[in-house]
Chain A
């Protein structure tokens, strides 16, 4: 049996190679003449883009990687100089700034311009404005897939048909026009079969956090685990291989009763099991993670790792109904759920993963996530009786990450859990 760290490195290495290859492909489009489609993580139609031999680019991912690479402050500043206000989503500003600074991707190679913008999820209103800006910047067409919000907490047959008809009548014809490739239902079925295999393994990995100690951190570690699934690789053999490898590694950690791997090595003692709502901060990602790991706090489930699909609640792509399943997928992403659904999901995580409490990281930039979070907090406190905590930061604007303040709140929160465990004797 290999050691946990070595095995973690193997899947990480695999993912790095996949990403490097993808960006290398993007850098070579002038010679390969492949077409490029920019799109978003929620409701991404990766299989469909790949089906037409086109290459996806995800501006959100570029923005968060810019944040992790310490570039976002500069990019945001460029965007603000160009007239975007301080209150605009910092993913948008980072993307615009990166574009103005030469559009150099995370591997140091320039990103190609899009041949098409696929607005395949509309639950985030900012997405519409974001691609409106990119349309102006790149002077390229936009294909819009209107995805109805689950306001009533369900996906009706009419909603399903409405979305799948758009895919059939608008998206696929536009893809065929841009790529020059014809849609092939049989090949699409094969792609979706690969999607399902990877989805099964991802769900297994996420559910491994039910164990004590949890072998994974489902937020800080989780954002790496969802990477291939939420970006450019779903429906590929590479993604299947990655998740097989990851599953084996996590199984090893489970067998050895090891905690998650943190920036400073395996966590020694699991003291607090938490569910978390909201995205992480990317600019101080490791420092932020350490604030949890140093206290023995592990995230056992998170809503953020469901923005690109709620696979752990049963959804799988259906190879026998490609267009219908894509519609279901788009409408089922976490940010497309209404408040009662989000609250119920978090409640079930708290119970199913035996959490000591739940935290909300409210980010300044993201109304899709942040609006209503305090109501969710109160409701969860009421339903579960477990302590809720509230911290505030931002996605990629370092000006809104106040380390001392966040650490203070987290320490208070952990001590609050401890005090409530012990009653008044603490």
Chain B
């Protein structure tokens, strides 16, 4: 299948969208941007291709009628088994890197104790892994560093308290190894992980395992050919693409928002370190925009700092802020001062939820200023970016927009985080429709799917 791909390299997460030849979304992928944009782009695309193959698998299973009423349950279990296989593979690589670090000699007398602690921790993580991916369990994060890191820290703390090596030395092993682990591609192919995942669940569904296995292998081997990729986002300059395949995130968010909600005229995107206010015309072309300059105050990272300060997950901030009864007025949106501001308010006796409600309103107030500068809020108004998932921020925005511009329709797509990638993928699709040459992309695809050629066969491809 020929596909076009859009990749949005954000400062916090990297997103990929895959479109089929008709321009329909067939796959989505997301990963954390790490310190290495190249790898992030590769991983996000791989995630999106995985997503595509699961969609293909779903169609193939339906046609085969092999699962007779249990297909949804099977797909869910297979997807969890696949994710578990990926997680275990990453744990193996984590162990390799930690052991390499331990053998460097720099831990001196502690080496043996740390090695033993590492074995203990990894044993626990592997033991707990199945439960982490069991039906009904929703992970706090999709990212390996968060899932494994949480378990690693908790086990390290116990081991240290029980007389093991110092906590920070044990956790130091993880910190030192996690980046190389994230920056390495999966050692096993899609097909290998899929079949291994299937092996974990095959017995539970009373199916003809050999026929299902054959079907899975066939889908996994179906070539996916990315005929054009367009990159956007903060790190787009890092992508190994020719210049005409790099588009500004302003244009991509404008177009993406238009595609999600065709009546969109104003777009607000609050990402990790950019806030963008964009006006678009009836066909999704940007007519005006403003973005934060020089300083990332009031952007998504601000909430990240606050979450760290409160020892909460980012997704927990909004619900807590929603419990507020007396919102605290907060003026500063300086990301660096956010922690100090929070502590000051706490020491003044303010409730956490009230401070949080004030912080959410503060960042939206800053976004309102940008919106005003870009030309105001016009109906319909679409809110995108990671912060759009935060209900407290959405409520503050809804309230302030109504106060300043009256009633307008506020659109927030459940997958709004993919808005920029959707715009980029659509630009890629339109380029192909407009006759963009196939010549450049072979080179491009080689660059971005090395070591393989243009096609991604899932089974043998390192992409």
Contact = CB atoms under 8 A, between A and B. Distances in A.
Interface of A: 374, 378, 381, 387-388, 390-392, 400, 402, 405, 408-409, 411-412, 415-416, 419-420, 423-426
A411 B294 contact: no
A426 B424 CA distance: 11
A424 B284 contact: yes
Contacts of B287: 381, 387, 416, 420
Contact of A419 (B249, B251, B290): B251
Contacts of A408: 234, 248-249, 291
A416 B373 contact: no
Contact of B288 (A388, A405, A409, A423): A388
16 contacts: A374-B373, A378-B375, A381-B287, A381-B288, A387-B288, A391-B293, A392-B294, A400-B294, A405-B291, A408-B249, A409-B291, A411-B248, A416-B250, A419-B251, A424-B285, A425-B434
A416 B293 contact: no
Contacts of B198: none
A405 B283 contact: no
B54 interface: no
B286 interface: yes
B251 A402 contact: no
Nearest to A416: B286
B289 interface: yes
Interface string B255-294: 0000000000000000000000000000111111111011
Contact of B293 (A402, A415, A426): A402
Contacts of A420: 285, 287
A420 B283 CA distance: 10
A267 to B, nearest CB: 17
Nearest to A419: B285
Contact of A426 (B290, B291, B430): B430
Main secondary structure of the interface of B (DSSP, over half): mixed
Interface in B329-383: 373, 375
B247 interface: yes
Contacts of A424: 283-285
Contacts of B152: none
A374 B375 CA distance: 9
Nearest to A362: B293
Contacts of B373: 374, 390
Nearest to A410: B248
Contact of A412 (B234, B283, B289, B430): B289
B259 to A, nearest CB: 11
Interface residues of B, number: 22
In the A-B complex, the 6 residue pairs with the closest CB atoms: A412-B248, A412-B250, A424-B283, A392-B293, A402-B294, A415-B248
Given A415-B251, A419-B251, A426 B288 contact: no
A405 B293 contact: yes
B248 A426 contact: no
Interface string B397-427: 0000000000000000000000000000001
Contacts of B249: 408, 412
A240 B430 CA distance: 55
Contacts of A423: 283, 285
A405 B247 contact: no
Nearest to A420: B285
A388 B248 CA distance: 16
Contacts of A415: 247-248, 250-251
A128 B158 CA distance: 69
A405 B294 CA distance: 7
Contacts of A425: 430, 434
Nearest to A414: B248
A379 to B, nearest CB: 12
A22 to B, nearest CB: 36
B336 to A, nearest CB: 15
Interface string B420-441: 0000000100100010000000
A402 B273 CA distance: 14
Contacts of A381: 287-288
A419 to B, nearest CB: 5
Nearest to A392: B293
Given A412-B251, A420-B287, A426-B427, 18 more contacts: A387-B288, A388-B288, A390-B373, A400-B294, A405-B291, A405-B293, A405-B294, A416-B251, A416-B285, A416-B286, A416-B289, A419-B251, A420-B285, A423-B283, A423-B285, A424-B285, A426-B251, A426-B285
Nearest to B279: A381
A400 B293 CA distance: 9
Contacts of A378: 375
A294 B165 CA distance: 56
Contacts of A374: 373
B371 to A, nearest CB: 12
Contacts of B291: 405, 408-409
A405 B289 CA distance: 14
Nearest to B246: A411
A223 B103 CA distance: 62
Interface in B288-330: 288-291, 293-294
A52 B287 CA distance: 54
B376 to A, nearest CB: 10
B313 to A, nearest CB: 29
Nearest to A408: B248
A378 B373 CA distance: 9
Contacts of B434: 425
Nearest to B276: A412
B282 to A, nearest CB: 9
A406 to B, nearest CB: 8
A363 to B, nearest CB: 12
A408 B247 CA distance: 10
A419 B294 contact: no
Contacts of B247: 415
A419 B286 contact: yes
Contacts of A390: 290, 373
A239 to B, nearest CB: 38
Contacts of B285: 416, 419-420, 423-424, 426
Contacts of A388: 288
A423 B287 CA distance: 11
A9 to B, nearest CB: 31
Contacts of B293: 391-392, 402, 405
B428 to A, nearest CB: 12
A295 B245 CA distance: 15
B249 to A, nearest CB: 8
Q: Which of B249, B288, B291, B375 has the most chain A CB within a 10 Å cutoff?
A: B288
Contacts of B294: 392, 400, 402, 405
Contacts of B234: 408
A405 B251 CA distance: 16
A277 B291 CA distance: 19
Nearest to A399: B294
Contacts of A405: 291, 293-294
Nearest to A418: B251
Contacts of B250: 412, 415-416
Nearest to B258: A424
A137 to B, nearest CB: 31
B279 to A, nearest CB: 10
B312 to A, nearest CB: 30
Contacts of B289: 412, 416
Contacts of A411: 248
Nearest to A407: B237
A420 B280 CA distance: 11
A279 to B, nearest CB: 16
A52 to B, nearest CB: 45
A390 B283 CA distance: 23
Q: Which of A408, A412, A424 has the most chain B CB within a 10 Å cutoff?
A: A412
Interface string B90-128: 000000000000000000000000000000000000000
